[in-house]
């Protein structure tokens, strides 16, 4: 699930990583003459793309900013997207100690969100998480049954076999 999510939503998951790595490398280069950095193949071209000299290039400010909202997107839509990704990655980000604001894409300062709205947001997240977990489990159960019916293995033929 994680591989499929990163493949189909690379603009969401890999782009911020590429921007951050570019900013980090540029910052390191301020302190020395050269740097040898090993990055994965999917990151080479994006880092080259973001390697633009100041003031237009990336820096830590651009690397750590939350993108602007899509017009007409409601808070509930954003929370549903978070629930989908939580289910796809099988993560429980809210359980981490360092998370103080589970909805930074709605409001940077959690103290500005009224308690009633925060309760509604949490309920919306819970409902969507349960809905998408049930959907994921239904698909995975179907795949398991199909694998058992197929005998668990596909027939392998070699090119040299006649």
Q: What is the pTM of this model?
A: 0.59
Contacts 24+ apart (CB under 8 A), 23-26: 23/58, 23/59, 23/60, 23/62, 23/63, 24/60, 24/63, 26/51, 26/57, 26/58, 26/59
Continuous segment of H or E residues that includes residue 151: none
21 CB neighbour count, 10 Å cutoff: 19
Question: What residue ranges of the chain have pLDDT lower than 70?
Answer: 1, 4, 11, 54-55, 94-95, 145-162
Q: What's the pLDDT score for residue 161?
A: 45
* pLDDT tens profile 67-113: 777 888 899 998 998 888 888 877 777 667 777 888 888 888 888 99
Residue 95 phi, psi (nearest 5) = -75, -15
Alpha helix positions (H), 30-74:
41-50, 60-63
């Amino acid at each position: 699930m994680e591989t499929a999510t990163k493949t189909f939503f690379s603009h969401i998951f890999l782009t911020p990583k590429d921007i951050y790595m570019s900013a980090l490398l540029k910052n390191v280069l301020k302190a020395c003459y050269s740097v040898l950095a090993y990055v994965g193949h999917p990151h080479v071209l994006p880092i080259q793309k973001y390697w633009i000299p100041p003031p237009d290039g990336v820096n830590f400010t651009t690397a750590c900013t939350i993108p602007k909202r899509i017009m007409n997107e409601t808070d509930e839509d954003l929370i549903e997207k978070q629930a989908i990704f939580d289910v796809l990655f099988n993560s429980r980000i809210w359980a981490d100690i360092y998370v103080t604001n589970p909805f930074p894409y709605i409001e940077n300062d959690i103290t500005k969100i009224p308690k009633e709205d925060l309760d509604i947001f949490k309920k919306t997240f819970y409902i969507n998480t349960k809905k998408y977990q049930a959907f994921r489990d239904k698909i995975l159960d179907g795949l398991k049954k199909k694998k058992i019916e197929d005998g668990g293995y596909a027939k392998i033929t070699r090119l040299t076999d006649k």
